[in-house]
């Protein structure tokens, strides 16, 4: 079977499932390439308004497939284009929700960090464990983890290979919410359905400004926000949203 499955549970939502159960969804080249392909396709698919990515009920992703890379040299690792594949996910304009059961370690944790919202099961575990096998994170964790939870907590995880449980991850702002294990995917889908009912252009502008504003000065970030806010007044959804509020009816957003 394919290492990644793409489903469309509703008109505006795509569900991506990692599907290497025999390897605990370890991230090999085939999986990374297919995952990247799906994100590129979904990013261009106008009907899709939110993407949910998940593993199985037992594991999100246990990390990189070490059997594939253990004997690689630096040139071979460069040619694997791991960061290129990750960029297609990080650059996706659609909101991404990670539904995490079980372990999300190493590259699996980095994959979750590319999401905009993380829903974790009560027994989920997160960790950047690369240091345990003689290397360091190579898919963005040294940058994204620091931005997510701050330098001191991130450094402890990165330097020790510490694995944290979902409640602790929630307390440090690593995940959006923690739910019973059996409710992870349903909870993620409910959030996706709510996002899918919102005006797509506004949703895309919110994501773009939040991510771009994280790496600039406050004044520049506020300028980006103001320009995006003003831009949305040229959309039909702005007129629909405000008029429906005034008329006390449910809005119907079309992404125009």
Q: Catalytic positions, please?
A: 64, 107, 110, 130
Tokens at residue 220, please?
């520049």
**Token pair 């993380």 is at which residue?**
118
Residue 213: count of CB within 10 angstroms of its CB: 17
Contact between residue 101 and residue 60 where contact means Cβ atoms under 8 Å apart: yes
Q: Please report, in angstroms and rounded to a whole number, the separation of the first and last CA atoms in the chain.
A: 38
- Alpha-carbon distance of 178 to 172, in angstroms, equals 12
- Alpha-carbon distance of 108 to 98, in angstroms, equals 11
CA 213 to mean position of chain CA atoms? 18
Tokens at residue 31, please?
């999986």
- Alpha-carbon distance of 22 to 104, in angstroms, equals 16
């Amino acid at each position: 079977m394919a290492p990644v499955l793409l489903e469309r549970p509703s008109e505006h939502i795509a569900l991506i499932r990692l599907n290497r159960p025999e390897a605990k969804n370890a991230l090999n080249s085939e999986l990374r390439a297919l995952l990247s392909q799906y994100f590129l396709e979904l990013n261009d698919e106008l009907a899709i308004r939110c993407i949910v990515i998940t593993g199985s009920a037992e594991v999100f992703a246990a990390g990189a497939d070490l059997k594939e890379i253990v004997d690689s040299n630096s040139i071979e690792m460069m040619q694997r284009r791991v960061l290129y594949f990750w960029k297609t996910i990080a650059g996706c304009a659609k909101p991404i929700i990670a539904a995490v059961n079980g372990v999300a370690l190493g590259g699996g944790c980095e994959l979750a960090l590319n999401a905009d919202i993380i829903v974790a099961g009560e027994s989920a575990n997160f960790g950047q464990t690369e240091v345990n096998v003689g290397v360091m994170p190579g898919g963005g964790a040294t940058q994204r983890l620091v931005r997510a939870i701050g330098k001191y907590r991130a450094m402890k995880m990165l330097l020790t290979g510490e694995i944290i449980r979902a409640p602790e991850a929630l307390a440090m702002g690593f995940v959006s919410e923690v739910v019973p294990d059996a409710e992870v995917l349903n909870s993620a889908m409910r959030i996706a359905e709510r996002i899918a009912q919102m005006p797509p252009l506004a949703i895309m502008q919110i994501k773009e400004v939040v991510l771009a504003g994280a790496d600039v000065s406050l004044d520049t970030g506020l300028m980006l926000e103001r320009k995006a806010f003003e831009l949305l007044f040229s959309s039909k959804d702005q007129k629909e949203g405000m008029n429906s509020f005034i008329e006390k009816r449910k809005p119907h957003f079309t992404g125009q």
